[in-house]
Structure 1
Amino acid sequence: MPEPAAIHPDPHLPATVNAKALPWEPSPAPGVERRRLERTGGERARVTSLVRYAPETGFPAHEHGGGEEFLVLSGVFSDETGDHPAGSYVRNGVGTRHAPHTDAGCVIFVKLWWMHPDETGLTRVNTRDEANWGDAPWGARLPLYEDAREQVELWRLRPGAVTEVTVEGGLEVFVVSGSATLGDDRLSAWSWARRPQAGVLTLATLSGATVYLKRGHLADLPPTPDA
């Protein structure tokens, strides 16, 4: 398999990608395909992507030297820690090891090599549990993870919602469902946007949307795989 090319490799530049417009590309594991949104280059790299597992497929056991963060968009993702159905948010810290697989198939939004060496634990959040959500002026908000470097949340925007997002240390947005606008950019379902510049951006929707937001993480980047 040829060496993958870099995709939007500079985290200090803005980028917008409609993942549904990209082709599915094969991975090293049979039956597992990817749509890569950003990557520093190489098979072992800092990367953000969508990964689709066909039924009865998986990867051999491996270690995550730079950590792994993912949100299950459809199906059921499984590993040694259990089954993670659609709506599961998972963080596997630096140095964790597993053999991911699926019986029925699944699609995940996943980030690799975005964790600092001191994050070694596990995080599991069921985003389908309404008890985890809290009211917000734009609809509802679900905190997923927060430390001194980054804040990760899901926002559920009610139809017609308009709100402002303060950007300090970078912003990343992924539209899980529905459609929204971020500033002047229209984002349909499975669209991803990176905004490194500090400022205030308007996030709005006409028909409603569920949106993943990560903030602050671009100010203090973890080591790259080849560092």
Structure 2
Amino acid sequence: MYVNADLSRRAVVGPDDYHWVASPQPGVERMMLERFGPEQARATSIVQYAPASLFPPHSHPAGEEILVLSGVFSEVAAHYPAGWYLRNPPGSSHRPSSAGGAVIFVKLRHMMGCEQQSVRIDTNNAVHWREFDGGAVCALYADAAEHVALLRLDGGVSLPHGCPAELLVVHGELRLDGHGYAAGTWMRFPEGDQAEIHAGVPGATLYVRTRGPAAGAAA
């Protein structure tokens, strides 16, 4: 299956576009944002866990990245409420579940093979944030290929460092080329895109991925 697989084109998916697709496990549904092949493929999705749903133990040969958007996401005895960022490196394994239900943003099979460390960051903790004029940044991960951060922007403030590779509107409203986009909107931009991006009047919290460590908003 291929969804938004042409990387030379801008892709925008808003909450009104969501179409939930059943996963191999009962109670777990996915909204596919991008996919580059069959079930075991590089993909980006919003995943919805119904209460008491779970996956059996499984591995991630090319890694997995998660941002918990709502509810509580669990890995056996470890429980991650909304706002936690998780990064499971290539070759890792886990048994995900949710007792009360959860919605998570997930990226699969996009990591570099040399990545080895797991990452667990509670973005609700102020110690992880650094303020700048017009907002704040929470650095999540950086390597030679990508830089990942959460950004909080005050109303009307432009995205620092220009157009990113990818973003998700976590809270608030984003303005792209004069149009407003609500929380839950995912965007991917081709290299060289000149998009004009700033927070709407209520401000915005964004997951942002940029190309290379030096280009990120948290650099």
* TM-score when normalising by structure 1: 0.87
Contact 1:15 1:194 (8 Å CA) reproduced:
yes
Instruction: Look up the equivalent residue of 2:134 and give its one-letter code.
Output: W
Consecutive unaligned residues of structure 1, counting only runs of 5 or more, are 218-227
Indicate the residue corresponding to 2:52 in structure 1. 56
Matches within 5 A, 1:103-122: 103-122=99-118
- The count of corresponding residues between Structure 1 and Structure 2 is 211
Instruction: Look up the equivalent residue of 1:207 and give its one-letter code.
Output: P
Consecutive unaligned residues of structure 2, counting only runs of 5 or more, are 213-219
Q: Does 1:172 align with 2:166?
A: yes
Mean Cα deviation higher: 72-81 or 104-113: 72-81
Instruction: Look up the equivalent residue of 1:30 and give its one-letter code.
Output: P
Task: For residue 2 of structure 2, give the secondary structure of its aligned residue in structure 1.
Answer: coil
Indicate the residue corresponding to 1:221 in structure 2. none
Contact 2:53 2:97 (8 Å CA) reproduced:
yes
Contact 2:56 2:96 (8 Å CA) reproduced:
yes
* TM-score when normalising by structure 2: 0.90
Q: Does 1:95 align with 2:91?
A: yes
Instruction: Look up the equivalent residue of 1:50 and give its one-letter code.
Output: I
Q: CA deviation at 1:144?
A: 0.6
Q: CA deviation at 1:183?
A: 3.2
1:124 to 108, 120, 143: 120
Q: CA deviation at 1:58?
A: 0.8
Indicate the residue corresponding to 1:84 in structure 2. 80
Indicate the residue corresponding to 1:225 in structure 2. none
Instruction: Look up the equivalent residue of 2:68 and give its one-letter code.
Output: V
For residues 64 and 40 of structure 2, what CA distance do their matches in structure 1 show? Answer: 13
Contact 1:165 1:200 (8 Å CA) reproduced:
no
Q: Please list the CA deviations of residues 7-35 of structure 1 after superposition, one character each: whole Å capped at 9, or x if unmatched.
A: 01122322111144312211110000111
Q: Please list the CA deviations of residues 78-113 of structure 1 after superposition, one character each: whole Å capped at 9, or x if unmatched.
A: 114611111000000000001101111100000001
Distance 1:36 1:113, change over 3 A: same
Distance 1:121 1:20, change over 3 A: farther
Mean Cα deviation higher: 175-184 or 62-71: 175-184
Indicate the residue corresponding to 1:36 in structure 2. 32
Instruction: Look up the equivalent residue of 2:167 and give its one-letter code.
Output: V
Indicate the residue corresponding to 1:26 in structure 2. 22
Indicate the residue corresponding to 2:216 in structure 1. none
Q: Please list the CA deviations of residues 153-196 of structure 1 after superposition, one character each: whole Å capped at 9, or x if unmatched.
A: 111011232344334xx610100011111334532111111112
Q: Does 1:136 align with 2:132?
A: yes
Indicate the residue corresponding to 1:198 in structure 2. 192
Contact 2:167 2:209 (8 Å CA) reproduced:
yes
Q: Does 1:210 align with 2:169?
A: no
For residues 193 and 139 of structure 2, what CA distance do their matches in structure 1 show? Answer: 22
1:148 to 144, 149, 162: 144
Task: For residue 37 of structure 1, give the secondary structure of its aligned residue in structure 2.
Answer: strand
Contact 2:76 2:97 (8 Å CA) reproduced:
no
Q: CA deviation at 1:40?
A: 0.7
Task: For residue 116 of structure 1, give the secondary structure of its aligned residue in structure 2.
Answer: coil
Distance 1:73 1:141, change over 3 A: same
For residues 149 and 116 of structure 2, what CA distance do their matches in structure 1 show? Answer: 20
Task: For residue 161 of structure 2, give the secondary structure of its aligned residue in structure 1.
Answer: strand
Indicate the residue corresponding to 1:222 in structure 2. none
